[in-house]
Amino acid sequence: MSPEYSCFPQGLTVLKSPALSAYEGMHATVMGLGRFAGGVAAARFLAQHGAVVTVTDVRSADDLADSLAMLSELPVVRFALGGHPEDVLADCQLLVVNPAVRPDHPLVALAKSRQIDVTTEIELFLRHNPASVIAVTGSNGKSTTTAIIHHLLLHANPDFKGKIWLGGNIGISLLDQVQTIQPQDIVVLELSSFQLHLLAPKKCLRPNIAVLTNFSPNHLDWHGSECEYRKAKQAIFNAQSSEDAAIIPDDTNSERDANQGSWRVRGSRLRFGLIDHGDDGAFLECGMLILRSHFFEDAIRFTVPPQLPGQHNQLNIAAAACAAWLAGADSTLFCTALQTFRTLPHRLQLVTEQAGRQFWNDSIATTPESAITALQVFHGRIILLAGGYDKGQDLADFAAEIKSRVAAVVLMGQTASVLFQLLTNEPSELQIRIETDFRDAFRSAVAFSQRGDIVLLSPGCASYGWFQDFRERGDLFSALARDWSPDT
């Protein structure tokens, strides 16, 4: 059932939105077109509302062919590709920055010095969004949690049909739908630390329900320090009021002291976890889903679907169930609804089984903590592909987990040498190989494998250097796995 109170439907207290006509004749530059939704959506939105649009990106036209094709029918005045020349700021009144662009980028600094309005695609959406918002962030699991919330809202309340929207860092821009979204609707947004960092000073984000899936140091190369990274995550709660809800992890080892407990929350604080300590929130314990608020308590028999294996997914389900329940979804339908949930690509995804070997794509595991979680799911022999771009994270715990759980590992990218040193600092039976090409790494992994083994791509590091992003890395792994046979 849904609780006797809800963060909905009274909706979000929205600052008065600027009229869309305000963009008519405005000179706007989109910095970082990218290959996934955001930059294209911002350019389309601004051009369709009369802005004079310039697009700039460090990539070439060939690299951006798909994105450029989506803008071919629009009156974009100029494309400056292969770099970010300063003259793209000539007459510029609005600079829309891709979240991947570092905040200390010289062009961004120059724009601010000229008092140009620096914004992002997600802020443009929030400026004009009339609906209530459920926002999700975290170091790991945020995409899956966001997708589960969306799925539960769609399948556990018939009144929500046509009123639930999914977007944000999950790879979907809602800018082109903002005029269709109604005040009684619910928008479910995944927000990255990059997006939150850029949103924080704007004070335009006030989610009715804010979810933090977890926290561990990440993207330190971008944020500069763990403190700055934490500050970005904190921004999801900063503009909330007592009418809103903040959902945070319940970790008996750290939550009740300085770690998670340090999150500053103005709204109702609810927790999620796998042990019920009697707090308000959602707890998935011993086949029961327990949901509790100050005014209501419910307990439902619950079976975790097989497509969501591992303790980390149980936590994702608990967090999502808490948010969906607060939003008014019927909790008695959650278990049935989740049976039809389709997992997102690249997130501990069973790609294929060939010659007795299972091939699992966990390319989204760009942090050591996420890769450790994946390793803890399996009980058979694991052949691991690990390593990648160096974001400045401590890999010692990841290496220790590899030594305790993995039969053979193929190391890749900038962190290969660091991981190799950590893995060989004392004698072990672990088989190790370093490769400088992903296809060679895959071939080495399957050469290590035998019938009954799990060949797992869970790198624990970002893909930059070898790939555009984790999707491209996961797609190549999946293609190689499907094409592989013992005779190749």
Output the pLDDT for position 3: 63
Amino acid sitting at position 279: D
CATH number of the domain to which 444 belongs: 3.90.190.20
Within-domain flag for 19: no
Instruction: Tell me the pLDDT band of 364, cut-offs 50, 70 and 90.
Output: very high
Within-domain flag for 450: yes
Instruction: Tell me the pLDDT band of 4, cut-offs 50, 70 and 90.
Output: low
Instruction: Tell me the pLDDT band of 413, cut-offs 50, 70 and 90.
Output: very high
Do 139 and 153 share a domain, yes or no? yes
CATH number of the domain to which 46 belongs: 3.40.50.720
Output the pLDDT for position 202: 83
Encoded tokens for 305: 């679907």
Q: Give the tens place of pLDDT for each residue, 177-209.
A: 999 999 999 999 999 999 999 999 887 899 999
Three-state secondary structure call for residue 383: strand
Do 108 and 47 share a domain, yes or no? yes
| DSSP-assigned states of every residue in 123-177 | HHHHHH--SEEEEEE-SSSHHHHHHHHHHHHHHS-GGGTT-EEEEETTTB--GGG
- pLDDT score of 259 more than 80: no
Q: Give the tens place of pLDDT for each residue, 267-309.
A: 899 999 999 999 999 999 999 999 999 888 999 999 999 999 9
Within-domain flag for 186: yes
- pLDDT score of 252 more than 50: no
Beta bridge partners of residue 455, listed in sequence order: 359, 383
Distance between CA 183 and CA 163 in Å, rounded?
9
- pLDDT score of 38 more than 90: no
How many CB atoms sit inside 10 A of residue 474's CB?
Answer: 24
For 136-146, b/e burial (b = at least 16 CB within 10 A) is bbbbbbbbbbb
Amino acid sitting at position 225: S
- pLDDT score of 11 more than 70: no
Give the pTM. 0.85
SS (H, E, C) 203-255: CCCCCCEEEECCCCCCCHHHHCCHHHHHHHHHHHHHCCCCCCEEEEECCCCCC
Instruction: Tell me the pLDDT band of 13, cut-offs 50, 70 and 90.
Output: very low
Output the pLDDT for position 257: 40
Within-domain flag for 135: yes
Q: Give the tens place of pLDDT for each residue, 312-362.
A: 999 999 999 999 999 999 999 999 999 999 988 998 999 999 999 999 999
Q: Which of 277, 312, 338 is the last residue of a domain?
A: 338
Domain count, the chain: 3
Do 199 and 295 share a domain, yes or no? yes
Q: Give the tens place of pLDDT for each residue, 440-478.
A: 999 999 999 999 999 999 999 999 889 989 999 999 999
Do 105 and 177 share a domain, yes or no? no
Within-domain flag for 418: yes
- pLDDT score of 399 more than 50: yes
Residue 285: give the domain boundaries.
123-338
Distance between CA 302 and CA 281 in Å, rounded?
16
Q: Is the dihedral of CA 367, 372, 378, 384 positive or negative?
A: positive
Do 241 and 375 share a domain, yes or no? no
3-state helix, strand, coil in the chain (%, to 5): 35, 20, 45
Do 361 and 479 share a domain, yes or no? yes
Q: Give the tens place of pLDDT for each residue, 90-145.
A: 999 999 999 889 888 999 999 999 999 999 999 999 999 999 999 999 999 999 99
Within-domain flag for 488: no
Do 417 and 432 share a domain, yes or no? yes
| DSSP-assigned states of every residue in 111-128 | HHHTT-EEE-HHHHHHHH
Of the candidates 273, 332, 270, the one whose C-alpha atom is nearest the C-alpha of residue 298 is: 332
Sheet holding 78-81, edge to edge: 78-81, 52-57, 27-31, 94-97, 117-119
Within-domain flag for 405: yes
Three-state secondary structure call for residue 50: coil
Residue pointed to by tokens 């389709």: 342
- Rounded to 5 degrees, what are φ and ψ at 436? -110, 10
Output the pLDDT for position 7: 57
Beta bridge partners of residue 431, listed in sequence order: 408
Instruction: Tell me the pLDDT band of 17, cut-offs 50, 70 and 90.
Output: low
Distance between CA 236 and CA 388 in Å, rounded?
29
Within-domain flag for 83: yes
Question: Is-contact 109 84, C-beta < 8 A?
Answer: no
Tally of residues, the chain: 488
Output the pLDDT for position 19: 82
Q: Which of 92, 119, 146 is the last residue of a domain?
A: 119
Do 69 and 170 share a domain, yes or no? no
CATH number of the domain to which 270 belongs: 3.40.1190.10
Do 186 and 271 share a domain, yes or no? yes
Q: Which of 29-38, 153-162, 249-258 has the lowest mean pLDDT?
A: 249-258
Output the pLDDT for position 14: 43
Do 45 and 114 share a domain, yes or no? yes
Do 89 and 225 share a domain, yes or no? no
Over the chain, what is the mean pLDDT?
Answer: 92
Q: Which of 308, 338, 368 is the last residue of a domain?
A: 338
Do 260 and 141 share a domain, yes or no? yes
Instruction: Tell me the pLDDT band of 78, cut-offs 50, 70 and 90.
Output: very high
